[in-house]
Amino acid sequence: MTTARQDTPAGKALRALEDGDASVRLRAAMAVGSAPDARYVSTLTARCAIEPDFQVRELLTWALTRHEPSVTVPGLVAELGSPAAQARSQALHTLSKIGDRRAWPSITRALLTDADDEVARSAWRAAVVLVPEGDEHGLATVLATQLGRGGRETQLSLSRALIALGEVIVETLRAATTAPDPRVRQHAIATERLLRDPDAGFEFAIEEAKRIVALGGNDQEG
């Protein structure tokens, strides 16, 4: 792909993305996003994979969303096969922001169950944005295999993803409330509580679910 000439403002901004000062990189990402050009996309995508600063990564994602999906999506999809967790995670995050459902086939079970929590969380968020109508139940079934995984933040991310799918998750959650693993049962009960009462709060829901599981229940009604 043709790159911007090094002596142009765009060329200088692209070079500045490698500066050691995060504030310089932040301004550079803003400059590139403010003047979108297909020639910038490969550099922006590659930088996402290695950029250490969260705020800069967010602006890199913003800059990519300023370009046409037909230009950005293929490169981001290619990043999903990277051995680097950050490359996979950031590509998924950016795809979720772009929202182009042509990327859906690339949101694989392997990504949804990735061993790296940040990658998996990004995959869950992307999946619920990109899932085509009619495929929600299948997605819910895969997501349910991750119930009980990780700490509070990871579990909250999964609950939010499941809840975003709506009522289609109820049957899957009910089945999970009889799982052998108490953490899975707790997480399923808490997620269903949040579906029914979004204002309950995750901490309250999970503590209540722990109590129910400890008492030998599964909170199913009827």
What pLDDT digit, counting tens, does each position of 117-148 carry?
999 999 999 999 999 999 999 999 999 999 99
Q: Which of 154, 151, 84, 70 lies closest to 112 in space, CA to CA?
A: 154
pLDDT, mean of residues 35-48: 93
Judge whether 89 and 79 are in contact, CB under 8 Å.
no
What confidence score (pLDDT) does residue 131 get?
Answer: 98
- Rounded to whole angstroms, the Cα distance separating 216 from 62 reads 48
Among 36-45, 74-83, 171-180, 194-203, which stretch is predicted with the lowest mean pLDDT? 194-203
pLDDT in tens, 14-24: 889 998 999 99
Say if 59 falls within a structural domain.
no
Is the model's pLDDT at 219 over the cut of 50?
yes
Q: Residues 96-125, buried b or exposed e (16+ Cβ, 10 A)? A: bebeeeebbebbeeebbebeebbbbbbbbb
Buried b / exposed e over 10-19, threshold 16 CB at 10 Å, is beebbebbee
Q: Which of 22, 24, 63 is nearest to 43 (CA)?
A: 63
Reported as a pLDDT band with limits 50, 70 and 90, residue 222 is very low
Tell me what the mean pLDDT of segment 20-34 comes to. Answer: 93
**Can you give the residue range of the structural domain that contains 171?**
137-222
How far apart CA 126 and CA 58 sit, in angstroms, is 15
Is residue 7 pLDDT above 70, yes or no? no
The pTM (predicted TM-score) of the whole model is 0.89
210 in a domain, yes or no?
A: yes
Looking at residue 156, its amino acid is L
What pLDDT sits at residue 8?
64
Residue 170 domain flag: yes
- 162 within a domain of the structure (yes/no): yes
Q: Give the CB-side neighbour count of residue 11, counting CA atoms within 13 A.
A: 7
Is residue 42 one of the residues assigned to a domain?
no
Interval 163-205: pLDDT, tens: 999 999 999 999 999 999 999 999 999 999 999 988 888 888 8
Identity of residue 113:
T
Q: Which helix (H) or strand (E) holds 196?
A: helix 182-196
Q: 49 to each of 25, 42, 81, 86, 203, how far by Cα in Å? A: 14, 11, 12, 5, 33
Q: Which of 151, 148, 221 has its CA nearest to residue 191? A: 148
| Residue 220 predicted with pLDDT over 60 | no
Tokens of 152: 């509070």
Task: Give the chain's domain count.
Answer: 1
**Selected residue with higher pLDDT from 198 and 64:** 64
Residue 177 lies in a domain: yes
Q: Is the pLDDT of residue 106 over 90?
A: yes
29 domain residue, yes or no? no
